[in-house]
Amino acid sequence: MTNTPLSALVPLNFSSRSSLKDRAIQSLGPLFWTLVFTLPLGAQTAHISNEAGSGVAGLLMYQGPERETQLMKEAKKEGGLTLYTSQSPKDTSALVEAFQKKYDLKVTVWRASGEKVIQRAVTEAHAHRFTPDVFESDAVVLESLYREKLLQEFYSPAFKDLPAHAFQKGHFYVADRFNFFTMVFNTNLVKPEEAPKTYQDLLNPRWSGKLGLEAADSDWFAAMVKSMGEAEGLAYFRRLKENKPQLRKGHTLMAELVAAGEIPIAVALYNHAAERLVKSGAPIEWRALQPTMGRAGAIGVASNLTHPNAALLFVDFTLSKEGQEIIKSRQRVPASNAVPSPLSNFPYKLIDPSVALDEYKKWDKIWNDLFVLSPQR
């Protein structure tokens, strides 16, 4: 399938759906210029070059000996890096603080929604201002940045520990964490032995008015429909609508509402959000109904970065066993096979960010017409 330019698309699942299309189209025009490296190729890259070439491109693909030692030496001269991210502040801080302590390098963090990360990066690129060195956000955000030529290929020794599906766009961006859609229920309101065990079980009339859906999950909806076969999948969701699911915006809010007993069952909720509440003693449980869909969180290196050595060190650290253990400690799901997690110990499929962008308009309209805009009777 041909990749559609981002300017012709609306980024999936970012913020308020009522004005998302207008805001995105107004702010995400095509880039009509060529991205050219403006970083002086001096002492900071002179020590690292190989068959991939010299300069920044050679540095980013370097696989030779003493990689970390050389990167550390040159990163000291750079002084630090800038990270653009949409990850939660606490999750970001855990990684950043550990990295700064280990390497004595400053990480300047700019955090916003995925939509705003794209907007700012594109706007700055138009003005030939190249502030970010590293991006970390949902894979659909990284795919958008890739299409705007704001990412470049890189190598990390941690690649050997990543599953094949972590590389959804070669080495321009790779998964560093996963978010899995699971059913979550309040154990005070739904006995575990009586809780749905399959998606078909959710159609039982006994659950009418007791189900919850996240209002922005049209990409999950699309992936589920396709997995069932489009005709059968659409028929399934029309039947699910008959059980009058409540819609709420935000997975964290939905998890809290289930824990509080306001919604007995959430049909598709991130299991890491539920697990955090389980650890705090909340009366909830999650189940990975099949098929289980997931979104990847991903990391990538900016095209015109100004701190390449520090950027690579940060990416290596995030993808390393040490960094992935930090992600796991935050009740997140690490992408690395070197750090097993009970939050990913089941069969799953990842939502393809390219397809999510290319087919956004189709599936978002169907989803909204079916659940968001149509009143529940």
**Domain locations along the chain:** 35-177+295-345, 179-294+357-372
Question: Would you state the pLDDT for residue 40?
Answer: 32
What pLDDT, on a 0 to 100 scale, did the predictor assign at position 32?
A: 24
- The size of the chain, in residues, is 377
Name 83's bridge partners. 109, 134
- Tally: H helices and E strands in the chain: 15, 13
Phi, psi at 346, each rounded to 5°: -165, 160
pLDDT of 373 reads 82
List 246's β-bridge partners, or say none: 212
Give the pLDDT of residue 170.
84
Looking at residue 259, its pLDDT comes to: 97
Q: Which residue has the tokens 């002084």?
A: 79
What is the pLDDT, as a whole number, of residue 168?
Answer: 80
**CATH topology identical between 35-177+295-345 and 179-294+357-372:** yes
CATH superfamily of 179-294+357-372: Periplasmic binding protein-like II (3.40.190.10)
Pairwise CA distance, residues 8 & 6, whole Å: 5
pLDDT (0 to 100) of residue 227: 97
- What burial letters (b/e) apply to 3-26, b meaning 16+ CB within 10 Å? eeebeebbbbbbbebeebeebbee
**Residue indicated by tokens 């809780």:** 195
- What the block records as the tokens of 139 is 């894979």
Question: What b/e readout covers 93-121, taking b as 16+ CB neighbours within 10 angstroms?
Answer: ebbbebbeeebebebebebebbbbbbbbb
pLDDT score recorded for residue 27: 33
| Residue numbers in the chain where pLDDT is lower than 50 | 1-53
> What global pTM score does this model have?
0.84
Q: What is the pLDDT of residue 369?
A: 96
CATH code of 35-177+295-345, in short, is 3.40.190.10
pLDDT at 376: 55
